[in-house]
Structure 1
């Protein structure tokens, strides 16, 4: 009987801790207007570094350290531009459409069960429109610290965030779609 009581207490405590993580993440995300961060991105073993600014809803500006590559989302379109290429996609056809939509993330996180990884990360797996997106949060400060997606070519892309700053002053001009060369 004592074992059953301890098991029930342990399950109850675990549920409260998980609910607290989820609530803390939701509260932190609700208070976030924008993020600025350095990133490491691994697409099928090809690793790139850079800096991004995300402004909710659905705006993003990223500069890669090499190749003069930039990614810009104005909320409707996503442009990937380098010195040798220019690609423009409707944002709603990419996984970033979900990642950059704070209200969507808040709704999904409130509905989903979390997974704790190595006692350091909280992971939520979102399945939407035949896309699987894993979103990662730091278990200590509840910051968004990365995501894993498949791009339009079915390449697995893992993006890890660090040196994260939130609610900074952002110049809206950076979200203007660059012209093709």
Structure 2
């Protein structure tokens, strides 16, 4: 009987820790209007580096270190400019649509179970419209530190964030896509 009570106590304690993590992540995300960061993106073993700015809701501007590549979301379209080529996608057809939608993330995190990885990361897995998004948060400060998705060509894409700054002053002009008039 004592073992049973001890087991119940330990289980309830672990649930409180998980609830606290989830609550801290939700509060932190609610208080984030934008973030700027450096990133490392690995798409099927091909690594690219750069820096990005995300402004909620659904805006993003990323410059890649090499290849003269820029990626911009104005909230409706996602445009990737590489040298002299432009590729335009409807944002709602890409996994970035989920990452850039703070309200969607808040709702899905509150409904999801977390997974602790190596006592340093908190992972949530979100499945929506046939797509899977794994998002990662730092267990110490509850900041978004990465995600894993499949891109529009079904390549696995892992993006890791570092040198993160929250709620910076941002010029909205950077979110104008290269194909806007």
Give the alignment's TM-score, normalised by structure 2.
0.98
Deviates more, 1:35-44 or 1:81-90: 81-90
In 1, distance between residues paired with 2:72 and 2:124?
A: 25
Computed over aligned residues only, the root mean square deviation of the Cα atoms, in angstroms, reads 0.9
Query: How many residue pairs are counted as aligned between the two chains?
Result: 180
In 2, distance between residues paired with 1:3 and 1:84?
A: 68
Aligned to 1:173: 173
Superposition deviation, residue 6 in structure 1: 1.0
1:102-130 Cα offsets, whole Å, 9 max, x none, are 00000000000111111111100000000
The list of structure 1 runs, each at least 4 consecutive aligned residues, that deviate by more than 3 angstroms after superposition, is: none
Aligned to 2:48: 48
1:51-79 Cα offsets, whole Å, 9 max, x none, are 00000000000000001100000000000
In 2, distance between residues paired with 1:136 and 1:156?
A: 15
Superposition deviation, residue 86 in structure 1: 1.0
Give the alignment's TM-score, normalised by structure 1.
0.98
In 1, distance between residues paired with 2:176 and 2:154?
A: 27
1:121-148 Cα offsets, whole Å, 9 max, x none, are 1100000000000000000000000000
Q: Can you give the 5+ residue segments of structure 2 that lack an aligned partner in the other structure? A: none
Aligned to 1:71: 71
Aligned to 2:102: 102
Query: 2:32 is paired with a residue of what secondary structure?
Result: coil
Query: 2:71 is paired with a residue of what secondary structure?
Result: strand
